[in-house]
Amino acid sequence: MPTLHPEATHVVDGLVGGWYDADLTERGEQQARAVVAEMAARLAPARAAGARVDVVSSDLVRCRRAAELVAAALGVGVDVRLDPRLREQSYGAAEGRPVGSCAWRPPTADDDPLHHHDGVAGSETRWQVAVRVHDSLREHLGAAPEHLVLVTHGGAATYVVTAFLGLAPEAVGPVRFVTPPGSISTLRLDPTTGDRRVEALGDVGHLERSSALQG
């Protein structure tokens, strides 16, 4: 189950994110608590039955903090493995700077969206992000946990889904899935048919319920 980090400070401060190591906002911390409660409830039956649950996270603090809370809620024997391959797309020299303050070259109709480079020093292409995220997911699924919780970023989440579906990085092209901050997606491998199901994408129902209760 991939989950997206909750609201981070760089978003409200109008700064470019990427590998800039922003923390959670106060609202983000509230969202993190809602994510934790939801994940703990969903996985409680599996934990009670002794199922193995792995928690893997981007090593950036806005993901790591949420992942550590999830692991703690799941109980003894669940630790967080940090994997920098699950980081957001790097925006190089623009990271941590005000949005719009660094010149970049947007893709044109003639550009290959996977290999387009924005001209900013040190930034990644989508291809580079897709390859590292695909490698990460293959490795963690290969460890054969019964349940895998991934905490990652909006840009990287697309490639978690495409990797789970078995698509080659070359095939994802301009594909982009919308997954809001603090959302939970549910991907399931049917052990009987071998089907790979996207059962929920970017679900924010737990955040809405939490807001309603606080209101």
What pLDDT, on the 0 to 100 scale, is given for residue 213?
A: 66
pLDDT digits (tens, 9 = 90+) for 122-175: 999 999 999 999 999 999 999 989 999 999 999 999 999 999 999 999 999 889
Partners of residue 86 on adjacent β-strands: none
Q: Rounded to whole angstroms, what are the CA distances from 98 to 18, 20, 35, 158?
A: 13, 12, 29, 25
Domains of the chain (ranges; CATH) run 2-214 (3.40.50.1240)
Q: Are 8 and 31 in contact (CB under 8 A)?
A: no
